[in-house]
Amino acid sequence: MSTISFLKEKLRDVSLAQLIRDETEQILLWLFKYAPGSLGFFLRYPVYKVLFNRLGGIPWIQANVTIWRTDRLQIGEHFGCNSGTYINAIGGIEIGNHVLIGSNVTISSGKHPIDGHFPPVFARPTIPGKIIIEDDVWIAANAVILPGVRLAKGTVVGANSVIVKDTEPYSVMAGVPAKLLRYRHEHAA
């Protein structure tokens, strides 16, 4: 398969308007991605306000966060996201209020089909899977949230965990794949 035919196949379902929007989004996000400290927060905010599908307040998004398909990303109030995180909203992502995301987290709402031999996995279209992150959720460093899952209200995801299925309210999840450790109310003060 030639490079040109590969690109045509990869972009087959993408309109010119969407392609221009995606490229403009990435240029705008790149311009302020590494701006440090408080100045960086305030420089990024107007860009997020214009690009995001919904933004409920001023997000506390640190430098070096990669976001893709902001038009399918909805974020509530009091949102914090640490550096190195990758958010791909190709299948849609809804994030509630009071959500905290640690460093180097991956949240991807698209997956690649792997069954069969042809076409190569790289050439297959992405299958969207909406992710919903409800209120009062904390996702610790290096966690991975896979497409199609719902993190219920109050969920805590342990560091280095992989979430492959929906969680229950106020659950503490950890492991690969993540399993229920306990509920937050079991050790409430």
pLDDT at residue 1, rounded to an integer:
61
For residues 44 and 81, what is the distance between their CA atoms, to the nearest angstrom?
13
Residue 98 annotated in active site: yes
pLDDT at residue 186, rounded to an integer:
72
- Can you count the helices (H) and strands (E) in the chain? 3, 19
Give me the catalytic one of 78, 98, 112, 187: 98
pLDDT at residue 94, rounded to an integer:
98
Q: What is the pTM assigned to this prediction? A: 0.91
Phi, psi of 9 (to 5 degrees): -65, -40
pLDDT at residue 188, rounded to an integer:
58
Sites in the chain below the pLDDT cut of 70? 1, 10, 187-189
pLDDT at residue 138, rounded to an integer:
98
In the numeric block, which tokens belong to residue 51?
């690009």
For residues 68 and 17, what is the distance between their CA atoms, to the nearest angstrom?
16
pLDDT at residue 102, rounded to an integer:
98
Q: Are 21 and 40 in contact (CB under 8 A)?
A: no
For residues 39 and 159, what is the distance between their CA atoms, to the nearest angstrom?
29
